[in-house]
Amino acid sequence: MTHPAVAAARDLAPAFARRAAIWDTERRYCWDNVADLVDARIMGMSIPAEHGGLGASYLDVVQVVEEVAKACTLTARVIVEANMGAIGAVMAYGTDAQKAFCAPIVLAGDKPAICITEPDAGSAATDMRTTARKRGDTYVINGTKHWITGGGVSKLHLVFARVQDEAGHDQGIGGFIVHVDADRGGMPDGFRITGRERTMGLCGMPEATLVFDNLVIDAEWALVPPSGFRGGFADLMNAYNAQRVGAGTIAMGVAAGAYERARDYLLARHQFGRPLAEFQGLQWMLADMDTQITAARLMLHDAAASRGPNGSQFPDMTRAARAKLFASEMGIKVVNDALQMFGARGYGSDEPLERMYRDVRMFTIGGGTAQILRTQIAGAALGIKTPQTRDGYASPPAMHLHAAE
């Protein structure tokens, strides 16, 4: 049965489509849409009912994401990050106090930021240098994160850092919940946002550089996954598999929206005395678009409903990687083909396809590049560890493969 939030998303989509150009041209975050998502209980819909959410499954969430992505890519990203990624990790691994603190913030409209990437640690995430050093009942965080989605608008941040004991010995990689509230005192000492990227698409979403300079947080805000800090990076990345399925769904939803526009245009536009829809060259393009979107949707739903190893509540890593890889590359191709069908009009800014094309280009990069996803899929097929699946706390040479035990 389809979750009621999917119908709510369909109802909201026309307003989101009307506003989408505003966020893009003014490079402004979609706060109006967030208010609608709060009212519709879509923000945090995956949070369990005992913490105030709807307890919706990831399969429910991705169906909502598709409806919204057809209208506004930016808003679809907000939904993914308000239900997957950081908040998913907190709800799975957090203490009761952490869950009780974070859930209401998301339900009230916050899209938590997940802070992994650093200037010298992109695809090689475990090369991160940000440290969280134990000092009494606190951790002291130092380092720089960049390309952090939502930096400057998010209140909750899940900061990945290399954990050190009091003596400075490496303990593995952990997550730390950092809370910022502009309404209540603003940024904590030792936490600065030092820059915002200028991006080709998704322009309403800040992609920020965050600097931690002796930021002190109470030890109770350390998110300790089941395997402790030593194996914790793998646990945290399991949670991230959900966000990957969400990101793939955004790309698929944008493609589906572009497809619908193209289909209607072929019926409406006439050349050579007949509708474009009567030209077989365009019919076959449309058939390929429809087929590829359908294939991506099936893969994404399969991944969203799957479960990882050892009873993990998060999607299986390989299924998530395959689905995101296929959907993100498909999304670029399908939106490109839709734009082509519109001729000059597709290239102009009065037609949303040029914005959709700029937006969808991101999804083979953010959240695991197409190359890294292929590396993961190959690693699973061959039964070998790849750089992305190596032990999280080690810092081996950047590029090697070693046999799984």
Ligand X SMILES: Cc1cc2nc3c(=O)[nH]c(=O)nc-3n(C[C@H](O)[C@H](O)[C@H](O)COP(=O)(O)OP(=O)(O)OC[C@H]3O[C@@H](n4cnc5c(N)ncnc54)[C@H](O)[C@@H]3O)c2cc1C
Site of interaction with ligand X (CB under 6 A):
113-117, 122-123, 147-149, 202, 207, 362, 365-367, 369, 371-372, 375, 387, 399
State which residue, 119 or 136, has the beta carbon closest to ligand X. Answer: 119
What angle in degrees, to the nearest 10, is found between the helix axes of 353-360 and 232-268? 160
Least Cβ distance, residue 88 to ligand X (angstroms): 14
Least Cβ distance, residue 16 to ligand X (angstroms): 19
Query: In whole angstroms, what is the distance from residue 133 CA to residue 163 CA?
Result: 6
State which residue, 331 or 367, has the beta carbon closest to ligand X. Answer: 367
Query: In whole angstroms, what is the distance from residue 251 CA to residue 280 CA?
Result: 27
Least Cβ distance, residue 248 to ligand X (angstroms): 14
CA atoms within 13 A on the CB side of 243: 24
Q: Which amino acid is at 290?
A: D
Residue 320 contacts residue 241 (beta carbons within 8 Å): yes
Least Cβ distance, residue 268 to ligand X (angstroms): 34
State which residue, 6 or 102, has the beta carbon closest to ligand X. Answer: 102
* C-beta neighbour count of 2 within 10 angstroms: 9
* Element (DSSP H or E) covering residue 177: strand 170-179
Closest C-alpha among 48, 47, 18 to residue 30:
18
* Cβ-proximal residues to 283 (8 Å cutoff; 6+ apart), any chain: 277
Least Cβ distance, residue 398 to ligand X (angstroms): 8
Q: What is the DSSP letter of 397?
A: -
State which residue, 8 or 330, has the beta carbon closest to ligand X. Answer: 330
Least Cβ distance, residue 270 to ligand X (angstroms): 39
State which residue, 63 or 376, has the beta carbon closest to ligand X. Answer: 376
Least Cβ distance, residue 81 to ligand X (angstroms): 8
Q: What is the DSSP letter of 188?
A: P
State which residue, 147 or 221, has the beta carbon closest to ligand X. Answer: 147
Query: In whole angstroms, what is the distance from residue 72 CA to residue 42 CA?
Result: 15
State which residue, 123 or 312, has the beta carbon closest to ligand X. Answer: 123
Least Cβ distance, residue 267 to ligand X (angstroms): 35
Closest residue to ligand X in the complex (CB): 122
* Cβ-proximal residues to 346 (8 Å cutoff; 6+ apart), any chain: 338, 339, 340, 353, 354
Closest C-alpha among 136, 139, 210 to residue 171:
139
State which residue, 365 or 404, has the beta carbon closest to ligand X. Answer: 365
Helical H segments across 40-163, by residue range: 58-69, 73-81, 85-93, 96-107
